[in-house]
Chain A
């Protein structure tokens, strides 16, 4: 990075921290600290919800995902608007009416303390771990790309935001998320502008999309049907996108305290609902745009030489290994193919004849085959063979103007901070409300509540940085790891809430047993899929978990009543 990039980066981060501290004045009690005195307007709720969901991983991984797998990932968000509607109808009014601090408090009113504690525990477990990954994921990429120390990067990624999150609680989180989101979207739009600007003369946005489309990456809608049969193992298609993701989103927005905590800060039910519904409207186009960046970067690399592998740390290791000559030979083949592509594309730029792109597509298949061989070499050399997360940032560092590189790096910090801050706030609120105050009751008075809330926010911050420091390498694209982790628990948590809302006759002990069984089944299915015994895309785990809890609860309820085996 050049000095101007450093100035932009440091200035942007300082602005956010100072703004967070400036906005930190709030009442010194639980209502003020965790719910910002319930006085937020809908547009802050909207930006806060979006800022919480979109982590750095969203911005780093998504363009790389589109580069390698196409745009079909956007289907993952199709369930969101439908989930938002259900939450607005059933969840929001109840949470507001009961004036709860956490979603899990409601479960004690409806069932019993055991069910509340189990659900809150599952939340703390998965949110604590995934927040650690949310710190580690962007840190490892930045540390490799910019040659920064991973431990210091982790510390900056997860540590600086603690200053304003601990000081100002939910109010600081919401206001900084608002500013962060404006900066992030402006920077991503600028990046999109420069990708198109860097394309050769006569090639604009439409031609770039045409090139990406002919290379099979503009596959926004896919059915998952192969040879007349639906492939249950296919991760992203319209069916898993609408059905599987509906359950995931319902669980995430309806039962995950990091999101529930955002819309509980709303002035009224109307403000909560507007924030949720507008998020349902704008999220898909936003994600479409971020994925489109990946297709545009792919189109850009058809006109310019693409790296054989985007993780330069691994290529540097190959250069110093026994595979050096093999690697050079593959690089030579790749640059020959690039030259052929560029000759054809020069003609395309003049004639706009789409038929020429068929030849480019053939050559791209050879490119992909060579890239696979390079990945094999990386693997043989003991390295990590997935470079999806490095694609967009490598492009940014190599081709974007000075200053904008610093801003994009700042975006990674800001996007991380937005979701991590909300997570820390929610982890602390669940710990204090669902466990500390519920079981230990040693806290007396508002001032004690306030002090303990700050302490738990700080401790969760330390815990998540600790997780980030110890997380080892992951096999999949990082965005998927976080989603998969969520899918292991979200289904069960959602199932408990669905029973609470819609199965009026089911009582606490029944749903508790059903939830434990469902969680075991979900984890078993996950491992069966991992060991290739069955084929099941992870999005389906949400539906399985939720439906299993619901139907097991209903069945057990009938059984328990008949034989009186469960104490009511």
Chain B
């Protein structure tokens, strides 16, 4: 993955942007799983 950095850019809260991307994708998957179980539970 392209890791473009500006000169003097502050580090992100995670060690790399790849970690951010994985986190965001994982968050989506967890959301979908929770929604799936909520749908099952209340339908």
Contact = CB atoms under 8 A, between A and B. Distances in A.
B5 to A, nearest CB: 7
Contact of A281 (B24, B39, B43): B24
Contacts of B28: 78, 81-82, 280, 284
A221 B42 contact: no
Interface residues of A, number: 34
Interface in B1-18: 1-2, 4-6, 9-10, 12, 17
A85 interface: yes
A365 interface: no
A74 B43 CA distance: 16
Contact of A218 (B6, B9, B42): B42
B24 A280 contact: yes
A96 to B, nearest CB: 7
A508 B19 CA distance: 35
B4 to A, nearest CB: 3
Interface in A176-213: 209-210, 212-213
B4 A284 contact: no
B42 A210 contact: yes
Contact of B4 (A216, A220, A269): A269
Nearest to B27: A281
Contacts of A82: 25, 28
B39 A78 contact: no
Question: Which of A88, A213, A221 has most B Cβ within 10 Å?
Answer: A221
Contacts of B5: 269
A249 B35 CA distance: 21
User: SS class of chain B's interface: helix, strand, loop or mixed?
Assistant: helix
A84 B24 contact: yes
A284 B31 contact: yes
A465 to B, nearest CB: 38
Interface in A63-121: 74, 78, 81-82, 84-85, 88-90, 93, 96-97
A285 interface: yes
Contacts of A29: none
A41 to B, nearest CB: 11
A93 B2 contact: yes
B interface, how many residues as a size bin?
A: 20 to 34
Contact of B42 (A96, A97, A213, A269): A213
Given A81-B24, A82-B25, A89-B2, A221 B39 contact: yes
A221 B36 contact: yes
Contact of A277 (B20, B39, B42): B20
B35 A88 contact: no
B42 A89 contact: no
Interface string A206-238: 000110111010111100000000000000001
Interface in A245-293: 268-270, 273-274, 277, 280-281, 284-285, 288
Nearest to B18: A89
Contacts of B39: 218-221
Given A81-B25, A82-B28, A93 B38 contact: no
A414 B25 CA distance: 31
Nearest to B41: A213
A85 B17 CA distance: 10
A219 B43 contact: yes
Contacts of B12: 270, 273-274
A480 to B, nearest CB: 21
A84 to B, nearest CB: 7
Contacts of B9: 268-270
Contact of A285 (B17, B20, B31): B31
B26 to A, nearest CB: 10
A90 B39 CA distance: 35
Contact of B43 (A93, A96, A216): A216
A218 B43 contact: yes
A89 B21 contact: yes
Contacts of A285: 31
A221 B2 contact: no
A274 B1 CA distance: 17
Contacts of A88: 17, 20-21
A248 B12 CA distance: 28
Contacts of B25: 81-82, 85
30 contacts: A78-B28, A81-B24, A81-B25, A81-B27, A85-B24, A88-B20, A88-B21, A89-B1, A89-B21, A90-B2, A93-B2, A97-B4, A213-B42, A214-B42, A214-B43, A218-B39, A218-B42, A219-B39, A220-B36, A221-B32, A221-B35, A221-B36, A221-B39, A268-B6, A268-B10, A269-B4, A270-B6, A270-B12, A277-B21, A280-B24
Given A85-B24, A220-B36, 18 more contacts: A81-B24, A85-B25, A88-B17, A88-B20, A97-B4, A213-B41, A213-B42, A216-B43, A221-B32, A269-B4, A269-B5, A270-B10, A273-B17, A273-B20, A274-B12, A277-B21, A281-B24, A285-B31
Q: Which 4 A-B pairs have the closest CB atoms?
A: A213-B42, A93-B4, A220-B35, A218-B42
